Chain A
Amino acid sequence: MEVLLFGMIAEKAGTDRLQLNAASVAELRRSMSERIPGFEQMVHVIAIDRVIVTDDRPLLGHEEVAVLPPFAGG
Chain B
Amino acid sequence: MNQEKKHKVKDIFVEGPIDPTFIATSVAKHATRMDIGAHEIFLGQVRADEHRTSNIDVRSVIAIEYTAYRDMALERMTAIREEAFTRWPSMTCLHVHHSLGVIPAGQLCFMVFASAPHRMAAREAVAWVVDRIKADLPIFGREVLSDSTHVWKVNRSVDPSGRPADR
Contact = CB atoms under 8 A, between A and B. Distances in A.
Interface residues of A, number: 16
A7 interface: yes
Contacts of A71: 134-140, 154-155
B85 interface: no
Interface residues of B, number: 29
A7 B142 CA distance: 8
Interface of A: 4, 6-8, 11, 47, 50, 64, 66, 68-74
A74 B75 contact: no
B155 A70 contact: yes
Interface string B55-68: 00000000000111
B47 to A, nearest CB: 11
B132 to A, nearest CB: 10
B72 A72 contact: no
Given A7-B67, A73-B98, A68 B155 contact: no
